[in-house]
Amino acid sequence: MIEIPPDRKLDIKHIVCDYNGTIAKDGIVKPEVAQLFQRLSENYMLHVITADTFGSVTQQLEQSPVNIHILSSHDHTREKADYILSLGLQQCAVLGNGNNDTLMLQTAALGIAIMGEEGCARETFLAADLLFGDISEALSLFIHPGRLIATLRK
């Protein structure tokens, strides 16, 4: 449990990441992400949700302790939101950068927009609780929760 003054409590059990533009570029996972996933898996359930545009997610994450959900509907925005709903909104931290990440960032207990090399959709940026330019720094929040408290307290 992370207590954010004055009265917000985060009980994060699931970290859900979009794939391309968030933890991967052109279908290739950023090397530091794999190391962070190993460490985070000690305390959190990790999920990657993707349309798998490059067809690489399974191979790229085969050594990582993550649940992979490949989108299958025509409405990726709704499917992503439904996925985190199935996990329990109040137990999810969500990281993404694209338009189809907006609803899941809005509805999760904690939404983090990533302004990486592919940019970040305007609506996603506005829906987020936090904005990061580096996925490693964003994921490190869950190793060092004091950083969350310092940023989110009122």
The string of pLDDT tens digits covering residues 20-42 is: 999 999 999 999 999 999 999 99
- 1 pLDDT higher than 90: no
Q: Report the percentage of the chain scoring pLDDT > 90.
A: 94
Residue 144 belongs to a domain? no
- 99 pLDDT higher than 90: yes
Question: In terms of Cα–Cα distance, which of 64, 152, 131, 77 is closest to 107?
Answer: 77
Residue 3 belongs to a domain? no
- In one-letter notation, the amino acid at residue 34 is A
Residue 6 belongs to a domain? no
Residue 122 tokens read as 């305007």
* 20, 47 Cβ separation under 8 angstroms: no
Q: Which residue has the tokens 């003054």?
A: 5
Residue 147 belongs to a domain? no
Predicted confidence (pLDDT) per residue in 55-78, tens digit: 999 999 999 999 999 999 999 999
CA 66 to chain centre: 12
Domain that holds residue 103: 18-138
The whole-number average pLDDT for the span 4-12 is: 93
Residue 41 belongs to a domain? yes
